[in-house]
Amino acid sequence: MVHLNLTQHTSNPVVISSLAWNAVRDSLTKLGKWELVNYIESVKVTDSRITIKTGKPIVNMDLLNHKEAIKERIDESFQIFGIKKIERKIVFI
């Protein structure tokens, strides 16, 4: 059996943000809120927060209702790719 070492790739901030964006999209699709995905402009991950930018307050309020499901899916995605678990606050702007 071959084991892949993805550490060098998963430490790249762009890759981490891409994984988070995909997890947000996945989460919203599973929740039946696919239409909200079209309003997401960017997802940025830092050591202390995950910022989901829509620029639309009404969309942010709807996303806030699904914050826990989104966070769980992001954590799951990060775990699959071996990204160290850090408590990050999710912010919608």
8 A C-beta contact, residue 23 and residue 74: yes
User: In the predicted model, is pLDDT for residue 2 greater than 60?
Assistant: no
Closest-CA residue to 53 (of 41, 61, 68, 65): 41
Token code pair at residue 5: 């070492």
Closest-CA residue to 9 (of 17, 42, 1, 45): 17
Q: What is the mean pLDDT of residues 7-22?
A: 82
pLDDT tens-digit series, residues 17-65: 999 999 999 999 999 999 999 999 999 999 899 999 999 999 999 999 9
Instruction: Give strand pairing partners of 74.
Output: none
Structural domains of the chain, with CATH: 7-92 (3.30.300)
8 A C-beta contact, residue 56 and residue 39: yes
